[in-house]
Structure 1
């Protein structure tokens, strides 16, 4: 019996990582929280996925041929489980309706229906014979190929559909945070969006390679590169998700609603007056230097309701709260970098940023240079002028 040693090691490592993460998620701090339950479910499904692959690459299928493929209906729940985990993490008063639960079962049910004829009508001996080109039955092999193709397409379609839904939840969550807070780095979960993109891409490649392998098409990285990428992503996801602090209610967002055109309730003169108050609060009182500044705090400071400020920002100033505050912070940082010898860290905090990493990102996005490069450029200009 031949064993693919390297893939066996990789899939064993995936199973080990998933197992350790399950233990930490289930029994660690905050394990009773709802989002932790969904996280555990996601990790369990990943471990089942890894175990199914491990049985194949290690040659274990020879001992349990009737179990091969039975993990497919369960692994098709990965996409829905990931989506429900994202909902429980980001949304206030999150409740999964009966309809959403039924829809989540559609993909796995289709996989089960596709796989059932192969599972019930093909004997263990016939399944083992399919593994060897010299002993396989051509007609039965074609039947197996069609079964693999249909289940793979359903798995991929279901997973990408729910990954996209989770991605859109995170995007809308981030957009809502930007309406109310000046510092969103720890609450926006940008890492989740990146993980979803990368995992969607890897599993698309996995599904393509899985099918091509059955028709005899191989490439130099077949069975090696994609499992390694999966392992790296699993390690990254386990680390980031287990270390993600629970969001408090003020940093969670409302259930997304269908987009509707916003109707202005303030007249232009009123918005102009509010805009003048905002400029005074920033330019004269320097409220932007408060690194915990929020829409609520600003509302209290200038005695204007949060809704009126938000409308003025979107309809009159054409920006959101996050963009307004960070624009003033970056301008202050530019002034400090050009006129003082304060360290970059000191400049970041004096400008109102909570961390150097947040400062560097905001500054680079706004100016096109890192803070140190901007300071160096100013020094060169001043030297030439002198």
Structure 2
């Protein structure tokens, strides 16, 4: 009986595939939430599992599989998975950051890179030996044909990782257009993971390029490091989906939050100003654009147009600037000298100590405590 011998690096690939399968099953038994990012995470995990398993079979000669699968079908499974992991990751991030995001026909465009590569494999009838550059009976394909398919399998996922990073930058801007307060912890962790994927897939591309100019041993070592990073990222993404993903705030669909192209009317400007200066609506904690618009009976688009075009800022900055002014008045009032800074920030509409200190220091140029000392000292000299 023949024994299969795996080195530790093969075990990492095997563990990645097995863990992805187990995590995808576990993901399905979790309580169903409003957004479908869980299903997209499951798809991403299954795709990574297929890619890891096929990579192991392709490069490990000790795996004995049926020739039909090993030589003919394996390239289709491998490169189909490699080309789909980028779109799956991008759509996962999209579902995390967009309210009620659902897969639609327009999303089918993300299948095109995978279909193109599968068609390429079919037209040139590339086998596993061809992909490994093993000539059989003197029949080998030009290296450029094989290089192209490997090039695409590294460039396309990296392009989607870049798109995901840009999506998160846009998401932060959208949060500032819709919310007066939001926690940055969940978003920061998602940023770290997304940049981790970008670095990992960038490393894959670098390994692919360096393999053409370095020794086989060096290329193998670089590729092995890539496998370890992928294993760590899979665990990190699943942990994030359990701990933080459900806490992210969802933004409205793009068409409902884009400001009107028309210049805001004077009546709309007066309504917004009246709500802030007379009604002091900014004192409401966790105020968002939808609540603000409902309160003054204007469409969100029109409120956005007033804040963005007339006042030249976003909702987050606009509301919190009023809160800072309210806090300054409380801190400078000798009769309120016994109020703690925590009491001041809560009474001003803030609900986060870190956000209050960060925003106050940025707008005023000093901490709340320093500002209070300065203003009370002025009063004592009068």
| Same-fold status (TM-score > 0.5) | yes
Which residue is 2:90 aligned to? 83
Structure 1 distance, partners of 2:307, 2:34, is 40
Q: Does 1:105 align with 2:111?
A: yes
**2:96/2:248 contact within 8 Å kept:** yes
Partner residue of 2:287 out of 293, 296, 313? 293
- C-alpha deviation, 1:236, in angstroms: 2.1
Structure 1 distance, partners of 2:259, 2:375, is 49
Using structure 2 for the length normalisation, give the TM-score.
0.72
* Structure 1 residue runs without a partner (length 5+): 131-135
Structure 1 distance, partners of 2:298, 2:106, is 41
Cα RMSD over matched residues?
Answer: 4.6
Correspondences of 1:212-251 after superposition (within 5 Å): 212-213=210-211, 216-217=214-215, 218=218, 222-243=222-243, 244-245=245-246, 251=250
Structure 2 distance, partners of 1:296, 1:128, is 57
1:7-61: CA deviations, max 9, x gaps?
Answer: 334334433542342122111111796432222101111222232344467x355
Which residue is 2:317 aligned to? 323
Which residue is 1:184 aligned to? 182
SS in 2 for 1:77: helix
Q: Does 1:63 align with 2:64?
A: yes
Correspondences of 1:133-144 after superposition (within 5 Å): 143=142
Q: Does 1:353 align with 2:350?
A: yes
Partner residue of 1:273 out of 270, 274, 293? 270
Partner residue of 1:72 out of 76, 79, 101? 79
1:283-330: CA deviations, max 9, x gaps?
Answer: xx6543322222343345556664443222112211121111222344
* Structure 2 residue runs without a partner (length 5+): none
Deviates more, 1:183-192 or 1:195-204: 183-192
SS in 2 for 1:79: helix
Which residue is 1:133 aligned to? none
**2:272/2:296 contact within 8 Å kept:** no
Which residue is 2:30 aligned to? 28
Using structure 1 for the length normalisation, give the TM-score.
0.72
Structure 2 distance, partners of 1:342, 1:56, is 69
SS in 2 for 1:105: helix
Residues 333 and 60 (structure 1), Cα distance of their counterparts in 2 relative to 1, 3 Å cut: farther
Partner residue of 2:17 out of 1, 15, 28? 15
Number of residue-to-residue matches in the alignment: 364
